[in-house]
Structure 1
């Protein structure tokens, strides 16, 4: 073969490669893309393009095809096998991504499809970079039988192996039913889009057949159901574009892996900025409500923070923010929702967030204004003891820098659980308005002086007198500081500067856990 013939052959092969790639991008037929758009959904590659920096995506195994035969599959062997895999960058940092292509077999998972995902997950683990899954699939590919089910097992095992090693984010952009739902449940964050995202173990038809209940897919497992009721979803959005924009924002706050720190940014918000607005934000009366989010806005860099699970367990705020350019995790009671009490849902929400921050070396700032645990027969019967212990365990087990700030009141066991000095907080700070006690003064007086009050000529006056005495002797702002349970009482206006200096001091903190295979948390 002459040199000219070799060159012509090379050009022929390159042309063939480009045609194959084009076929992989187009899907099985031109109408498939039109049908996807008609459903109000983007294609897999359109989604990847929105998530990653422009032009940064490197795809792998675009020409992979299944090898199954029978049940009609031998005549349908589209390239990519229904999942797009590769890596790119978000704000210049490497991120791995896979996206189900609903145009091909409805995004259903088969053997080759699963092997592509396995390979990408292994690459993300080896490279130490975040993994994002864009989910839009109809579950296991029935025609491939148990091979498809085994593919899910490989994904689950890798989800668990990567947990606490690299950040894992699931974005639900279509249906996710049956066992497929367990992969997102194993990841760190789950995002959903209203109208197109559904997650459930058994679908509406099975529910109706077994229980007689008639329910739609969205009523059973839609975005708002999981964002507000079940707590499965970290957030719900109206469209794919805003959802993927927030995923980019979240990634900008996270480290690439558990050996790196979260990316710091230059900060133009002065570290010593006085927070004068805090004086008016928090009412002095312990029972008056206010929005803790406004306190967070006043303190963190440029008032910007990323809240997770904002619609679920709203009595506890969990957010990522920056202080002097450094990422911190904020856990805060929310007095505007159920008075900021701790209940089952809030305990689970807080425990999960604390564990995530600790796994990825993100310091914790806990803002406390808690009247206690929510009383009630339902709470007790549903296991508030066990669920509340999850938050306690997560804090006790955390080795990152931990700062507690008591904003107003901190009563009973909830005070202990909200990262008090006694369970290992590095520093406990308080505003002059703080009240730390076993319970509120009125309740304490009614318990301690019950007989005396009942026997008094004027029970109301006697109760008021005893309440006043309890407040002055055991609930004054400096009682805990006198006993070393609070390290310093600070001017609320200095909150930002004090937190920044404390976190800078703790940046080199090193703490060793006892030698053990692992603990046994109250899951």
Structure 2
């Protein structure tokens, strides 16, 4: 029968029509709200998901969910989805769990049902072993739901912690993100923001003004540039499409979970000139600067290096590349900034990246040109002792294959902290230009030959002669090689070949170490 009702019971056709109507309401949102979103240069939640996932692969979950509270004043409104779109799909043919906050419905605010939807996706992603990608664009906690909203944030935070190190977690900040909403993304593996349209902060400008008297703009307080400089963001995208494209690229370097290996890609045979070019990278003058990215570019496949946190602690480079088609994590001193010296920010940046690689079976290649730790009152008062040790601690506890190449300076504590043999790095190589010593020639001469310099009237000629002699005798890789602290001294042009050979041998490396629940990380 096709009549709409018979004896008060709706027919099958009518029920199907009602389902179609509700689905359409869930998909569309209010047109006025959609127009406002577009006017701000922002996509809607569904547009973002469509742009991110492989076409036609999205499977939505809980599309007809609604809030359970009745104290909205407009509770009769059909707000299906309750301000968030959740489900699963494919990126380059690989499964991904995804949730996208919908600013067109209750401003994307987080309430009890929103939290339940996010947690459901996260639980399934953990079970099947696939990455979780969150597209954040929210007005924050839903005030009408009171403590239930706070509980939702708590549940999300708990499940982020449970997923940590099990599946990759990536957060995109595509609009406002404040208060409790910032702690979830901050606990994920990678955070991306978009220039001009996204903000994140613990408290907004109005609260800051009321509490401290400081007047700041949204951009100054929580814009992408401010967050990138503070180390809260791994990449700042030019627009939303750039952000989504960058995350797709990032996923191509990572395994789906901690039990899988990263995907492998075919690689073309390199031209010999690419390797020979490394022979000319290091300047003859020991204090002359150069860009470590040039070394990385000649070392990895196609010169492609996906850098993370480029605006934070630029004296240490961290990012992903491929060598012979396989993913590697690159950790490298950058002589262009602080001469490559380690400081608080660089130590913490490097430590977390090493742990990220170790969690997801990504081998680590370290390129060393470090004069030591950056000195100064600010560093000491800032806790360089407890925070600087995080880097060497990360190397010492990592179990993935690790290869270190010393290209120039490796002085003092910098030598120890940048993947040295004594922290059980598997293969340690050095270029002939490597200078492995307690300290540089100038500083060493000032200490060792203080009396001789005084007797010579602090002659610059005598000082230069002593420095040259010290460098010739002490600042070489050969004493370390004689003691087995360096496995081989190689020509720069041999670097790619030797690193690749080491990683091939280490593919079947077995994890080892004492039985324990987990190490106690430095503060």
Smaller-chain TM-score bracket: over 0.9
Specify the alignment match of 1:195 in structure 2: 196
Worse-matched range after superposition: 65-74 or 335-344: 65-74
Specify the alignment match of 2:28 in structure 1: 26
In structure 2, C-alpha distance between the alignment counterparts of 1:32 and 1:82, rounded to whole Å: 12
Specify the alignment match of 1:364 in structure 2: 364
What is the TM-score when the length of structure 1 is the normalising length? Answer: 0.96
Can you list the C-alpha shifts for 1:35-74, whole angstroms capped at 9, x where unaligned?
1101111000000111111111110100000110124152
Q: Is the 8 A contact 1:273 1:496 kept in 2?
A: no
Offset, 1:280: 2.0
In structure 1, C-alpha distance between the alignment counterparts of 2:48 and 2:470, rounded to whole Å: 61
Work out whether 1:420 is the aligned partner of 2:398.
no
Can you list the C-alpha shifts for 1:156-195, whole angstroms capped at 9, x where unaligned?
0000011000000000000010011000010000000011
Q: Is the 8 A contact 1:271 1:500 kept in 2?
A: no
In structure 2, C-alpha distance between the alignment counterparts of 1:41 and 1:413, rounded to whole Å: 47
Report the 3-state secondary structure (helix = DSSP H, G, I; strand = E; otherwise coil) of the residue aligned with 2:75. Answer: helix
Work out whether 1:467 is the aligned partner of 2:467.
yes
Specify the alignment match of 2:386 in structure 1: 386
Specify the alignment match of 1:16 in structure 2: 18
Specify the alignment match of 1:52 in structure 2: 53
1:237–1:424: structure 2 CA closer, same or farther, 3 Å change rule? same
In structure 2, C-alpha distance between the alignment counterparts of 1:98 and 1:353, rounded to whole Å: 25
- Cα RMSD between the aligned structures? 1.9
What is the TM-score when the length of structure 2 is the normalising length? Answer: 0.96
Specify the alignment match of 1:68 in structure 2: 69
Q: Which residues of 2 match residues 40-439 of structure 1 at below 5 A?
A: 40-228=41-229, 230-270=230-270, 275-439=275-439
Report the 3-state secondary structure (helix = DSSP H, G, I; strand = E; otherwise coil) of the residue aligned with 2:252. Answer: helix
Report the 3-state secondary structure (helix = DSSP H, G, I; strand = E; otherwise coil) of the residue aligned with 2:203. Answer: coil
In structure 2, C-alpha distance between the alignment counterparts of 1:505 and 1:180, rounded to whole Å: 44
In structure 1, C-alpha distance between the alignment counterparts of 2:344 and 2:147, rounded to whole Å: 38
In structure 2, C-alpha distance between the alignment counterparts of 1:326 and 1:74, rounded to whole Å: 53
In structure 2, C-alpha distance between the alignment counterparts of 1:271 and 1:81, rounded to whole Å: 56
Can you list the C-alpha shifts for 1:461-513, whole angstroms capped at 9, x where unaligned?
33223222222221133221122111101111111111111100000001223
Work out whether 1:448 is the aligned partner of 2:452.
no
Report the 3-state secondary structure (helix = DSSP H, G, I; strand = E; otherwise coil) of the residue aligned with 2:15. Answer: helix
In structure 2, C-alpha distance between the alignment counterparts of 1:511 and 1:271, rounded to whole Å: 36
Q: Is the 8 A contact 1:124 1:130 kept in 2?
A: yes
In structure 1, C-alpha distance between the alignment counterparts of 2:129 and 2:407, rounded to whole Å: 38
In structure 2, C-alpha distance between the alignment counterparts of 1:251 and 1:94, rounded to whole Å: 11
Report the 3-state secondary structure (helix = DSSP H, G, I; strand = E; otherwise coil) of the residue aligned with 1:409. Answer: strand
Can you list the C-alpha shifts for 1:55-97, whole angstroms capped at 9, x where unaligned?
1111010000011012415233400000000010010000010
Can you list the C-alpha shifts for 1:289-317, whole angstroms capped at 9, x where unaligned?
11111111111011112110011111111
Can you list the C-alpha shifts for 1:312-356, whole angstroms capped at 9, x where unaligned?
111111010110001000000001112111011111110110000
Can you list the C-alpha shifts for 1:82-132, whole angstroms capped at 9, x where unaligned?
000001001000001000000111100011111111111111111110000
Report the 3-state secondary structure (helix = DSSP H, G, I; strand = E; otherwise coil) of the residue aligned with 1:302. Answer: helix
In structure 1, C-alpha distance between the alignment counterparts of 2:332 and 2:64, rounded to whole Å: 49
In structure 2, C-alpha distance between the alignment counterparts of 1:47 and 1:64, rounded to whole Å: 20
In structure 2, C-alpha distance between the alignment counterparts of 1:430 and 1:52, rounded to whole Å: 43
Offset, 1:272: 7.8
In structure 2, C-alpha distance between the alignment counterparts of 1:71 and 1:79, rounded to whole Å: 15
Q: Is the 8 A contact 2:445 2:470 kept in 1?
A: yes
1:122–1:104: structure 2 CA closer, same or farther, 3 Å change rule? same
In structure 2, C-alpha distance between the alignment counterparts of 1:365 and 1:432, rounded to whole Å: 19
The unaligned stretches of length 5 or more in structure 2 are none
Worse-matched range after superposition: 500-509 or 280-289: 280-289
Q: Is the 8 A contact 1:331 1:367 kept in 2?
A: yes
Can you list the C-alpha shifts for 1:404-430, whole angstroms capped at 9, x where unaligned?
100111111011100000111111101
In structure 2, C-alpha distance between the alignment counterparts of 1:269 and 1:181, rounded to whole Å: 45
In structure 2, C-alpha distance between the alignment counterparts of 1:315 and 1:471, rounded to whole Å: 24
Worse-matched range after superposition: 164-173 or 63-72: 63-72
In structure 2, C-alpha distance between the alignment counterparts of 1:396 and 1:349, rounded to whole Å: 16
